[in-house]
A and B are shown apart, each in its own frame.
Chain A
Amino acid sequence: MDFNLDEETRSALEALRKWGREVVRPVGLEADRLSRPIPVDDPYFERCLLRGDGRTRWQPHADARSTRSRSVLTQLLLAEEFAYWDRGVMIANPGPGLPEASVIALGTEEQKERFLGPFVEPDRPRWACFAMTEPGAGSDAAAIQTRATKDGDGWILNGAKCFIGSASRSDWILVQATLDPSKGRAAQRAFFVEQGTEGLGPFKIEKKMGLKAYESSSFSLENVRVPASHLLGGETRRERSAGFKAAMSTFNAGRPVIAANAVGIGRAALDEAIRFAREQDLLGDPRVRDRIEAMTRKIRMARLVCLRAGQLADERRPNIVEASMSKALAAQVAQEAASQALELLGSTGGRGDHLIEKLYRDAKAMDIVEGTGQIQRMIIARQLVSLPR
């Protein structure tokens, strides 16, 4: 048992902490104040590139397992730290984003070269995104209705997607579609749809309660034609449910990251609460101390559960239960921490200009994205008590 951090992780955290304090937090606060995503041409994104962000961990001319990546544990600690400063800005950052893991795991060499290649040394801020959620299919990912129909040597896509991060600014979108809605997951496939493809869009930038720094878009696909080479994994990877596994492999990797984000948000609320209590000379009040103790305890616990899921992933041990637990627990803890911190502010929190008030709004999304708390509990219960699907 060892809770020490290695030197590399510590220095990465230190650098991120400085970046977060000086750049990320102010950018996030401004996006929230202006109630709009960070514009595509904002200098912030160029600074991200200069810092080394926005790149793929895929390395050309290397086998699938050879990627530039830190341990999952380190990634989780960095995800927590980034979200501490602003989770919305973190998601707004350029890069191949959510679909990267699926492309690395399941994509053909040509697909990796074509779609991840531009992210190796990006000439400008570039984005990619993954489109699963639909107006009629959120938690029930097996129920998506976007259709993929074979058309000669290519595919025709029709449907609608919603709440997709950075979609309008993405070079390409990995679209999850079904060959036959009646066949559920087994009939799902993922397709690369490049920006500008005829029939893609228009994009509607959603107005959100929180996490305003990044863009959430809804769009339609109307007779969008993609070549056969844009089917993730290619025509030869048509084994049963391969498409769905691509989506699920992304989600599995994502749950502890969201949990870490939630821990970061909760921690920010905690620190702000302590700062406010100190400034207002409230720390002598046992009710205030008890509140801070509970926040600290629960956040620490959520962090450990999250890191446990990460360690299992690093060791390539099954982490289905732990990943879902981390997500369910951390989201709940972050929301409660922000709420308790807001309670401590009293009517100051009602003004709408305090960071804690923003964190309260931001935190809610953590219990929704990549599987709600209820979905996580269903996943856990399937393992613990064989809850039927």
Chain B
Amino acid sequence: MNLDPDEELGLIVETARRFAEQEMLPRMREAERNRQVAPEVRRAFDETGLADLELPEGVGGAALGSVARVLVNEELGAADPGAALALDRIGPALYPFLEMAIDPVGSLSTIRGNGERILLVTESDGARIVRNDVVRGTVPWVPADRADAIVVLTREGAGLVRQGFSIDPVRGAGLRAAGAGTLRFDEAPLLDSAFRNAREAADRALARARLHVASLLLGVMRAACDFSRDYAQERQAFGRPIAHHQALAFLITDMQMALDGARLLVHEAAWRLDAGLPATAAAASAHAECVDASRSIGPNAVQILGGHGFMADYPVEKHMREARALGLLLGGFDAAVEAAGRSFCETEHPLEIGLGGAL
């Protein structure tokens, strides 16, 4: 057993970290204000190849798995999760393509080749598939101003929509670097779809999407923890650093514990996916824990900075908003808890050690 990421992924993670710190972090406010990332940042990102980590080799990808994705996403999310969503044009919409045969006409190659922006929405978000060939419904918020195509994922399968939808820009609570809009389907026809015997594959696609979002959350939480902790060691009150008052010292400790624990859940679930083991409950649970942890880490990071934390001069107010916005994607905490809870209750001993040879 080894809980550490493989060393061979170290270089990829280092690339992601360097890009995030040098290109994304300095321009996070600008990207938020402009509701898009600068073209030069996008070009630099494309050169890193980080968007292609999980793409099949046949369409120019590295065919790496979920572990690589969550490690990279944590780095990108620590700098700017909105920009991370914007830069990765296909993003979590990739997973139905990978897990299900919804690509009979080579849509994925076309999408990648044309640099199209594609979004993933689920039933929990408000999209409804009728008769397996038409999509209806409204998704009140997606982190995008525009999209070339939408992948709609349900518990039974998934399908691709290229027309019959519109996105009306809205202000957005967070992740504005990716844009923000209300997505409306108007009897949108499904082009490529897979619903027959696709439930298990749909579950795995959703699991991968959950970890995609959860790992961005890890990044935001890490940034919030790191910034507020550093601040607390510099800021003086009552003659000593505020971090040396036990109330704050313990708060900082609990924030770090929550982050480290959530990260391990994400890593284990990602490993399970890559190992081909049952992972839908583990991924849903990891997603739920990240949302849960972010709901305390975000506001507490602001709390540590006090009045300064409330101001846009410091990044923690952005961390707090963006963590909360990320936590609303894919049906948010409640959908994740519902999915994991149903699965756990189907077994007598959900945590018995050694079931299937793994934890």
Contact residues of A with B, CB < 8 Å?
1-6, 9-10, 13-14, 73, 77, 80-81, 267, 270-271, 274-275, 277-278, 283, 286, 288-290, 292-294, 296-305, 307-308, 311, 322, 325, 328-329, 374, 377-378, 380-381, 384-388
Contact = CB atoms under 8 A, between A and B. Distances in A.
Given A293-B285, A385-B229, A303 B351 contact: yes
B134 interface: no
Contact of B249 (A77, A290, A303, A385): A385
Interface stretch (B95-103, B173-181, B260-268): B260-268
Interface residues of B, number: 53
A304 B275 CA distance: 18
B353 interface: yes
A388 B341 CA distance: 43
B351 A380 contact: no
B338 A387 contact: no
A288 B338 CA distance: 11
A318 B233 CA distance: 23
30 contacts: A1-B2, A1-B4, A3-B268, A3-B359, A5-B353, A5-B358, A10-B357, A267-B352, A274-B348, A286-B338, A289-B338, A289-B345, A292-B344, A293-B340, A296-B350, A297-B285, A304-B3, A304-B264, A304-B265, A304-B359, A307-B359, A322-B260, A325-B256, A374-B250, A377-B250, A377-B254, A384-B253, A385-B241, A386-B243, A388-B244
B271 interface: yes
Contacts of B351: 267, 270, 296, 299-300, 303
A388 B240 CA distance: 10
A384 B254 contact: no
Interface of B: 1-6, 67, 229, 232-233, 241, 243-244, 246, 249-250, 252-254, 256-257, 260-262, 264-265, 267-268, 271-272, 275, 282, 285, 288-289, 337-338, 340-342, 344-345, 347-354, 357-359
A307 B261 contact: no
A301 B4 contact: no
A10 B252 contact: no
Which secondary structure dominates where chain A touches chain B? helix
A1 B359 contact: no
A378 B253 CA distance: 9
Nearest to B272: A3
Given A275-B348, A296-B351, A297-B285, A6 B1 contact: yes
A311 B1 contact: yes
A377 B354 contact: no
A10 B354 CA distance: 6
A384 B256 contact: yes
B246 to A, nearest CB: 8
Given A77-B353, A385-B232, A1 B261 contact: no
A304 B270 CA distance: 14
Contact of B341 (A290, A322, A378): A290
Nearest to A382: B249
A340 B34 CA distance: 47
- Most chain A beta-carbon neighbours within 10 Å: one of B5, B232, B256, B348: B256
Contacts of A286: 338, 341
B354 to A, nearest CB: 5
Given A5-B1, A80-B353, A380 B253 contact: yes
Contacts of A4: 1, 275, 357-358
Contacts of A283: 345
Contacts of B337: 290, 293-294
B4 A311 contact: yes
Contacts of A311: 1-4
